[in-house]
Every structure is written in C-alpha cells, then in structure tokens.
C-alpha cells in the first residue's frame, strides 16, 4: 500500500486527497446535519448555485496549470452580467445576442491579457489585477444600480428546469417532486468534460502542462511557449465569459456586486482540487470536486446554526491553508527525490 502511494504521481495523490476529503465531508454532513443532505436535490441545488463558479474554476485551473494566474474572472462575471442585463432590459435585446456579447467580452479580455502576459512578458498577476479593476469599474460605468432582468425569453430560459429521473423525493404534503437541474449545470458539465478531454488527450492540452512544468524544457521540446501561454489566457477569458453568463442566468440580475470574490473562490477551488500554483500539475475533475467541497462547506455552515457569517470565510481559509501546506510538503519531497 505504502509503495503504491509512493508511486503515485503528485497529481493523482492530490486528487485522491481531495476526493477523500469531499466524501468524508458529505458523509459527515449527512450524519450530523440529518435529512437535508440525504436528498439528491440538496446536491443538485449546490450544482445549480455553483455552475458559474465551476466554469470559472476550470478557466482558472487551465491558467494555473500553465504557470500563470488570472484574478480578473470575478470582475468579468460582473461586467458580463451587467452588460447583458442592460442589453436585455433597456434595449429590448434577444437572448442569443446577449450570449454573443458575453463571448465577445471574454474574447476581448483574452486577447489583451494574453498578449500582455505572453508576448510582453508582464506578470500575469499584475495584468489580471488591472483587468479586474477595469472590469469592476466598467461595470459601474455601464450601470450602477442593481436590477432584475424582466426580459421574457431570458426569464423563460432562467426558469427552465431539466428533471433528473429517479432522483426526486416526496415532500411534506406527500407529493412526489422531481429533482431538477438548471441549464447552467449542463453547460458547466459540458465545459468540464471538454476541458478534461482537451487537457488529457490533445497535443495542445499536454503542451499546457509542459509549459507550466518547465518552461525551458518545453521550449527545447519545440513547443511554442509564448503561443501556449497566450492560448491559455485566451481560453481562460472566453470560459470566464461563458461562466459569467451562466452565473447571470442563475441570479437573473445585473449588479455591481455580482461575482464578488469569485476569483478567490475559483483559485481556492483549483488549489483544493489539486492544481499546483507552480504550474504543471492539475486536474479538471479535481477542480470540479474542489468547487463542490467549497460549496458543501458553505452549505454545512449555513445549516449548522453557525448563523454568524464569518464561519464561512474562516473555514474556507482553514481548508485552503491545509491544502497549501500539503502541496508545499509534496514539493519538498519531490525536490529531495530529485536530488537522490
């Protein structure tokens, strides 16, 4: 057994830890919190509420695997949702065009940030910091008052529910209620699957790992390092645009405070999911579980009668701390092995 663990790659080990922690947490929640968590709908609600965050976290993981970081995704969520909300409500827009707006914002962001990071060699943290500032500021310039979108076709899309067969439960009145997910969840799962396949089986996907792992040797392997970095930021921002729209679809309102702290949640989920900050190590499935762990903690805190809002922040930070220390210990172990 111990030999098996020793032979595990860092990526698998981190993923295994994450999965174990998540399962333990969910089982613990079922045991100590009682019925709520046994209903499948509780789990689906977590998915519904965090579909946007899942996409943002996938985007973040991609950049982190390539060795960068992007803290503008939260600001982009606000910008996308506000722009689309204003377009839909004040200009009587239609839904497909609003989706196009979200994609275009993502594309524009990706082109600029990717160029600055990859070709001008500016630190990704600073570039995306400016990106975050810009997005938050622009959101206020577009419109500063929060409002709910009343556009009919949008509301219809927002309320669209996809029933999950066999997962329903009987409510207090004795009526069978179908379990459901929102459209955003389908999009999020599609993104997870596509990203997983891309990172695992395509040449481009492997080159992200190569560049993040060791830039110099990636260069010697004949990988176009600059282009790979550029593409990672481009895909990240486009995904952030999609994630922003999914988030918007869930909340159904445009507000400056939309996606507040989403960048930190996305980074935290990626780290908890086993993506290494130093680059080169990471797994999209882990990221998905990272988001779910984060959301489960929030749910547990909310239902545990720890009404005080501060517990959420403190527990997430504690979890982040533990996972970061594990990563750091792993890195130290790896270095020792390399020396031998």
Binding-site ranges for another protein (CB under 8 A): 69, 116, 119-123, 125-127, 129-134, 136-138, 140-141, 144, 256, 261, 264, 267-268, 271, 277-278, 308-314, 316-318, 320-321, 324-325, 327-329, 331-332
CB of 275 to another protein, least distance (A): 11
Q: What is the rounded CA–CA span in Å between residue 161 and residue 165? A: 12
Give me the least distance between CB of 174 and another protein, in Å please.
41
For another protein, the closer CB: 136 or 158? 136
Q: Which is nearer to another protein, 114 or 184 (CB)?
A: 114
- 62 by Cβ neighbours in 10 Å (0-12 / 13-18 / 19+) ranks as buried
The most distant pair of C-alpha atoms in the chain lies apart, rounded to whole Å, by: 67
How far apart, in whole angstroms, are the C-alpha atoms of residue 49 and residue 267?
Answer: 18
CB of 39 to another protein, least distance (A): 29
Both ends of the chain: CA-CA distance in Å?
Answer: 23
Cβ at position 109, least distance to another protein in Å: 12
Q: Strand, helix or coil at 268?
A: helix
Tell me the CB-side half-sphere exposure of residue 34, using CA atoms within 13 A.
3
Q: Report in angstroms the alpha-carbon separations of 168 from 43, 130, 159, 177.
A: 12, 46, 18, 5
Residue 160 backbone zone (phi > 0: left; psi -120 to 50: alpha; other: beta): beta
Measure the CA–CA gap between 134 and 76, rounded to whole angstroms. Answer: 9
Report DSSP letters for 187-246, one per residue. HHHHHHHHHHHHHHHSHHHHHHHHHHH-HHHHHHTT--HHHHHHHHHHHHHHHHHHHHHH
**Residue 264 Cβ vs another protein, minimum distance, rounded to whole Å:** 6
Contact 228, 207 (CB under 8 A): yes
Shortest Å, Cβ 234 to another protein: 18
For the bound state, the minimum distance from the C-beta of residue 271 to another protein, rounded and expressed in Å, comes to 7
Q: How far is the CB of 187 from another protein (least distance, A)?
A: 27
Question: From CA 133, how far away is CA 131, in angstroms rounded?
Answer: 5
Query: How many whole angstroms separate alpha carbon 152 and alpha carbon 89?
Result: 10
């Amino acid at each position: 057994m111990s030999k098996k663990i020793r032979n595990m790659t860092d990526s698998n080990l981190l993923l295994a830890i994450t999965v174990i922690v998540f399962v333990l947490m969910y089982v613990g929640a079922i045991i100590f919190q009682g019925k709520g968590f046994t209903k499948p709908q509780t789990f689906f609600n977590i998915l519904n509420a965090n579909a946007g965050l899942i996409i943002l976290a996938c985007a973040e993981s991609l950049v982190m695997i390539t060795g960068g970081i992007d803290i503008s995704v939260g600001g982009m969520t606000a910008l996308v949702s506000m722009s689309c909300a204003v377009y839909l409500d004040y200009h009587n827009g239609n839904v497909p065009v609003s989706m196009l707006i979200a994609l275009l914002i993502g594309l524009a962001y990706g082109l600029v940030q990717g160029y600055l990071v990859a070709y001008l060699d500016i630190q990704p943290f600073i570039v995306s910091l400016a990106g975050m500032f810009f997005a938050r500021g622009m959101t206020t310039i577009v419109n500063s008052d929060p409002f709910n979108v009343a556009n009919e076709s949008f509301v219809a899309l927002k309320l669209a529910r996809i029933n999950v067969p066999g997962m329903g439960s009987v409510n207090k009145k004795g009526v069978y209620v179908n379990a459901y997910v929102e459209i955003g969840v389908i999009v999020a799962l599609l993104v997870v699957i596509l990203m997983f396949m891309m990172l695992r089986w395509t040449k481009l996907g492997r080159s992200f790992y190569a560049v993040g792992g060791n830039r110099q040797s990636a260069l010697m392997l004949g990988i176009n390092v600059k282009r790979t970095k550029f593409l990672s930021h481009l895909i990240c921002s486009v995904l952030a645009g999609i994630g922003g729209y999914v988030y918007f679809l869930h909340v159904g309102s445009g507000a400056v405070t939309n996606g507040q702290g989403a960048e930190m949640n996305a980074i935290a989920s990626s780290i908890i999911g086993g993506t290494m900050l130093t680059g080169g190590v990471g797994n999209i499935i882990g990221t998905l579980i990272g988001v779910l762990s984060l959301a489960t903690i929030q749910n547990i805190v909310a239902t545990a009668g720890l009404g005080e809002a501060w517990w959420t922040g403190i527990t997430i930070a504690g979890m982040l701390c533990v996972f970061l220390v594990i990563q750091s210990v792993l890195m130290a172990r790896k270095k020792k092995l390399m020396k031998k």
